[in-house]
Amino acid sequence: MSFDYDLFVIGGGSGGVRAARVAAQGGAKVALAEEDRYGGTCVIRGCVPKKLMVFASEFPDAIADAAEYGWTVHAGGFDWSAFKTKLHAELDRLENVYRGILKNNGVETYDARAKVIGAHEVELSDGTRKSAKHILLAMGGRPVLPDQEGAELGITSNDIFHLDELPKKILIIGGGYIACEFACILNGLGVDVTQYYRGAQILRGFDGEARGHVSDEMISNGIKLHLGTNIAQMTRGEGGIDVTATNGDTQMFDQVMFATGRAPNTDDMGLEAVGIELGRKGEVLVDDYSQTKVPSIYAIGDVTDRVNLTPVAIREGMAFVETVFNGNPTPVDHELIPTAIFTQPEMGTVGLSEEDAREQEPIEVYSTSFKPMQTAFAGRSGRVLMKLIVSKANRKVLGCHIVAPGAGEMIQLAGIAVKMGATKEDFDRTVAVHPTMSEELVTMKEPQIRQ
């Protein structure tokens, strides 16, 4: 049977574009359909614009520090409109880069929504049908508003980049990394930020000591963080949104942002009708090789709700091409993924938290917290945290957790060592780079005594 394409990719985000490009470079005839903007969540609504906002939000402290270091500085206010104009110009440029990558590698693109209508067939929104030997689902995910009265008055992370003006006062709901990052960003940009999280501590699933450290620093930086708290009622009031909290507190906010969950983009895609299994959240269920129950259809990235990170989606796309087009079955490696949370200060982490490691085996914990030289000199009170989790049995470093400015950069390099199976003695044998914050990772000699 002949097909229109060897591969049809649905979704033009980081994972889908990478898989399409690499398959096409190998000689496959490839098409890709994207209903919105090329680049996906990461480039258009996530990592990239968020990190540019992080950079923007760090200047008030940098300017204050400059004065402490002897510079005469005259800082005006933050011009959101000027920043937003430049931000969107950069996102347009990046989208064109993604389109160019596909075009230059011979991938045929359709600016249309595609849905699956058979094991080897898709239908575009204009009614056109295309056949393919293999179909790759890479539709990603989206933020969702909670199912509660008044939630429609709120916004999500998608909307932040499009606000006509910055709110003077915002309430952020949630305790995950997206909620915490935007709380820090907006706080840095001069917004009065309140954050509610129903749980006992933010950043659930990460190392307890590290999340506590981030929480303390966020509060000391001026974010009004209320734990064990949620919205009881939300109504549109005169000049804002009236919010009553579960603790009885009533306030008015200019904006309420929900960062309480994301959902895979599998609605109305025809997936179950062709035999693809979906999970409880609507995620596409796949095996270790990203294959669905329908042998010709694979899925990668956030639509599978495995590890929802851009570099992971890209790696899943590469492994898919190796498996299907290069005859080299390659399972996806989701072990020991380094990651960063761009709060202020940043958190970088790889491997096991102290809590998870303790459940697994006897461990030693090496941990230190201190005021870094640069900010201490400027009179700021912020502290950083360096932490290693070590197996007592084989001395391997099971986890590394850093809360500090630049933690994302540090954890990328520490992640190589942990992925290679470095021991505590390997760290100890490494000469410190002085004076740096990260030298503490190789100078901690005595384990903590933990009860």
Please tell me the predicted confidence (pLDDT) of residue 316: 98
Question: Whose CA is closest to 34, among 14, 48, 5?
Answer: 14
Please tell me the predicted confidence (pLDDT) of residue 451: 58
Is 434 noted as a catalytic residue in this protein?
Answer: yes
Cα 78 to chain centroid distance, Å, stands at 26
Please tell me the predicted confidence (pLDDT) of residue 48: 97
Please tell me the predicted confidence (pLDDT) of residue 76: 84
Question: For residues 323 and 144, is the Cβ–Cβ distance under 8 A?
Answer: no
- How far apart are the C-alpha atoms of 405 and 400, rounded to whole Å? 16
Question: pTM for the complete prediction?
Answer: 0.96
Q: Where in the chain is the domain with CATH 3.50.50.60?
A: 5-141+263-324, 151-259
Question: For residues 258 and 154, is the Cβ–Cβ distance under 8 A?
Answer: yes
Cα diameter, the chain: 75
Please tell me the predicted confidence (pLDDT) of residue 1: 80
The pLDDT profile of the chain, 451 residues, written as one tens digit per residue, is 899 999 999 999 999 999 999 999 999 999 999 999 999 999 999 999 999 999 999 999 999 999 999 999 987 899 999 999 999 999 999 999 999 999 999 999 999 999 999 999 999 999 999 999 999 999 999 999 999 999 999 999 999 999 999 999 999 999 999 999 999 999 999 999 999 999 999 999 999 999 999 999 999 999 999 999 999 999 999 999 999 999 999 999 999 999 999 999 999 999 999 999 999 999 999 999 999 999 999 999 999 999 999 999 999 999 999 999 999 999 999 999 999 999 999 999 999 999 999 999 999 999 999 999 999 999 999 999 999 999 999 999 999 999 999 999 999 999 999 999 999 999 999 999 999 999 999 999 999 987 5
- How far apart are the C-alpha atoms of 137 and 116, rounded to whole Å? 9
Question: Whose CA is closest to 269, among 111, 109, 122, 120?
Answer: 122
Question: For residues 354 and 399, is the Cβ–Cβ distance under 8 A?
Answer: yes
Q: Write the class of the CATH domain 151-259.
A: alpha beta
Q: Catalytic residue among 88, 162, 334, 434, which?
A: 434
Question: Which residues pair with residue 363 across a beta bridge?
Answer: 391
φ/ψ of 430, rounded to 5, equals: -80, 125
Question: For residues 306 and 288, is the Cβ–Cβ distance under 8 A?
Answer: no
Identify the CATH assignment for 339-442 out of 3.40.50.970, 3.30.390.30, 2.40.50.220, 3.40.50.1010. 3.30.390.30
Question: Whose CA is closest to 298, among 64, 10, 75?
Answer: 10
Q: Where in the chain is the domain with CATH 3.30.390.30?
A: 339-442
- The fourth-level CATH superfamily of domain 5-141+263-324 is FAD/NAD(P)-binding domain (3.50.50.60)
